[in-house]
Amino acid sequence: MKRNIKNKVLAVILTAVMCLTTSCSAVKSAVTMLDETGKGGASAQSFAEAHDAFQTTLAKEESDDDEIPAPPERSFDLIKYPSKVGDLAAYVSSDPGDGQKHPLIIWVVGGWGNGIDDFPWCYPEWDNDQTGSAFWQAGVLMMYPSFRGGCGNPGNYETLFGEVDDIASAYEYAASLPYVDPDRIYLGGHSTGGTRALLASEYTDKFRAVFAFGAVDKIEYHNNSQFTFDTDNKEEYKMRSPIYWLDSVKSPTFLIEGSDGNSANLKKIERTSKNENIHCYVMEDADHFSVLAPLTRVVAQKILADTGTEPSISITQEELDAAMKMEPEIPMPVMEQHTIEALGMTLSYPYLWYVEDISESEELSLMLCSRYEEDNIWDMSLMYIDSYNDLQLDREYFAENGYDISETEVGGLPALKAVGKMEDNSGSVFNDTLVAVQKGDTLVTFEFYIHEDFGDDANPMFDAILESVSFTE
């Protein structure tokens, strides 16, 4: 089964056609229009004023009713947050239950889709990690909002217009949560999500800081085949293009892009802006996607350290350059706890895995594997849990087949661990780790397979599963 990641991996496609700048004198507008310097004189409106006064016209009324998967229990909750068009769905970090107020970042993924799915908990590729998972892995609370028209939400896709209002509404919901510090709510996004984040920073000053990866200066440079607004009206473009409203940014806003991505757009913003709240960084020899994994980790640590009364985040080009040279990290998946009643046992395994009962007798046999088949350690791992009545582990069998045998412990009970390799009928070789524990008259085994090409990379995940085991009876 292959993952459906529409509206996610295709985060942005640059158009090859450059659009000519429309002069202010050529546009008849109900609001005061700005020139490309972002300054319109003493009478110029703020972006919030112009945005709220403008009525967008949709040439296409598009929406979807895609199903929203249940999030990992005790990690995230599926909620509804109120907006101008009605209640919208979002994933929000669960209450840590420690009585403290914590920082939170709202993360807006790329692509034109306005929905949410299990994407945040899929394996994050180091050279293309759009999940924002670096934040929750570091201990920063998160909110993944859907927007109008997505996942059965009221309204329609508005292509960067009404979605700005939705982001402001998401802030209000996050600020109302008793375990979130309302003064430490951040905003981040990538590609189209980065442009949405930048527009939101121009619209409201409530975010403590904003981090926009791969934003464009004008909406024309996004994939215009997805535009739902009246493209004959130039004012529609201006209301969705950050470069005309840079002076409205009041929160510290950090724009980051790879030199092989939308860097021309970022450099134009940097040349145009006179706003000291806007900070621009171009990462050499990087692209639109490769900046995400290392640099979201930098941002996560900046957020955790930003504990003062006023925002104190500062980022240097040098520390970002250093982060781009870091070795790729292998993440741990979100784990969910499950009970296997037949064995009187609870354990945790990756959220994206499922359990299939393959028993052929009264003795239990379960197969655990990922719902997806991507080329990574989460999705290519396979695990079996078996129980045997009145059976002892045959040490000699494993020793004769080249397995290394050692003593260990599982769920407080002594256990035996055998590590070796197994070849299947096609000649493929797999790393094979079997752990057996004697529970009364029952032998319970946990056997973990992954192709030898992955080496020992999956071992920490298997170890975490074993460490979670507890016997309830």
Return the DSSP state at 217: S
pLDDT in tens, 427-456: 999 999 999 998 888 899 999 999 999 999
Q: Which residues pair with 445 in a beta bridge?
A: 386, 436
Cβ 191 vs Cβ 110: under 8 Å: yes
Distance of CA 395 to CAs 40, 361, 442, Å?
Answer: 81, 24, 17
Question: Percent of the chain having pLDDT more than 90?
Answer: 84
DSSP letter assigned to residue 376 = S
Q: State the pTM of this model.
A: 0.89
**Distance between CA atoms of 172 and 250, rounded to whole angstroms?**
18
pLDDT, residue 19, reads 35
Q: What is the sign, positive or negative, of the torsion defined by CA atoms of 357, 461, 126, 8?
A: positive
Residue position matching structure tokens 């947050």: 81
Taking only the tens place, the pLDDT of each residue in 174-217 is 999 999 999 999 999 999 999 999 999 999 999 999 999 999 99
Domain architecture of the chain: domains with CATH:
24-324 (3.40.50.1820), 335-471 (3.40.1000.10)
**pLDDT, tens digit (0-9, with 9 covering 90-100), for 11-35:** 333 333 333 333 333 333 434 444 5
pLDDT digits (tens, 9 = 90+) for 245-274: 999 999 999 999 999 999 999 999 999 999
83 DSSP β-pair partners: 86
* Residue 389: both structure tokens together: 């009545």
On the question of pLDDT at 41 being above 70, the answer is no
**pLDDT value for 35:** 53
Tell me what the mean pLDDT of segment 325-341 comes to. Answer: 94
pLDDT band for position 299 (cuts 50, 70, 90):
very high
- Which of the two residues, 244 and 389, has the higher pLDDT score? 244
Side chain identity at 458, as an amino acid letter? Answer: A
Burial 343-362 (b: 16+ CB within 10 A, else e): bebbbbbbbbbeeeeeeeee
* Residue 185, CA distances (Å) to 79, 443, 444 in order: 18, 50, 47
pLDDT at 473: 66
